[in-house]
A and B are shown apart, each in its own frame.
Chain A
């Protein structure tokens, strides 16, 4: 069965700092990869996704992620965070032809103004 690991459970940083959240998955076949964000009290929103093609994916709100197949990783980055980026971030995976999202445990990010 596939699984997803997010190594950082909590991240605290100041505004304008750079953010990188790690995500590794375990599945030997072709996968689709997602990052979702959950702002306090809100539902999950899609930040970006990777299905195929250019492994560097740009999403909304200045986020990007890089798929490194050899490392089974899909790390999320943002060069300069804002206070409004305070949220919980979830990495998720489906098998290429599949539909069940398998989520990582989430990373809570707190951006101090």
Chain B
């Protein structure tokens, strides 16, 4: 158990819908990262938040957005869902905003039908 929690574990929805994935970092960690794992794209970095502010952006679609709240939990919002958005979404956390070890949560498996 890494100490990073994610809810829900599984999510099944339809195309065009909007979903919210939630992540709570390890106690004391200020950074939260979101990654997408799909069969065709592999593991890709989406976005990082540090202490409430966006720190780095990766291959995140405009239909996706994220935020980090004052209690440091983070939410990833996915809208206008397409079949290709079906994937495992992982959250990771680290103590600092820069280089450091990232600890991963169990992931949310999103299925878009």
A residues with a Cβ closer than 8 A to B are 32, 34, 36, 42-46, 49, 51, 90, 92, 94-106
B interface residues (Cβ-Cβ under 8 A, vs A): 2, 31, 33, 35, 42-45, 48, 55-56, 58, 90, 92, 94, 97-107
Given A42-B106, A43-B106, A106-B42: A99 in contact with B99 (beta carbons within 8 A): yes
Question: A105 with B42: in contact, given A43-B106, A43-B107 (CB under 8 Å)?
Answer: yes
Contact among A43, A98, A101 with B105 in the assembled complex (CB-CB below 8 Å)? A43
| CA–CA, A58 and B13, complex, Å | 43
Residues of A within 8 A of B42 (CB): 103-106
Pair A98/B99 contact, Cβ less than 8 Å:
yes
A100 to B35 CA separation, bound complex (whole angstroms): 10
Q: Check B98–A101 contact: CB distance below 8 A.
A: no
Chain B: CB-nearest residue to A31: B99
Chain B, residue nearest A105 (CB): B42
Q: A32 touching B45 by the CB < 8 A rule?
A: no
Q: Could you pull out 23 A-B pairs where Cβ atoms are within 8 angstroms? A: A34-B101, A36-B104, A43-B2, A43-B90, A43-B106, A43-B107, A44-B90, A44-B92, A44-B104, A45-B104, A46-B103, A51-B99, A90-B43, A92-B43, A97-B98, A97-B99, A98-B99, A99-B31, A100-B33, A101-B35, A103-B42, A103-B43, A103-B44
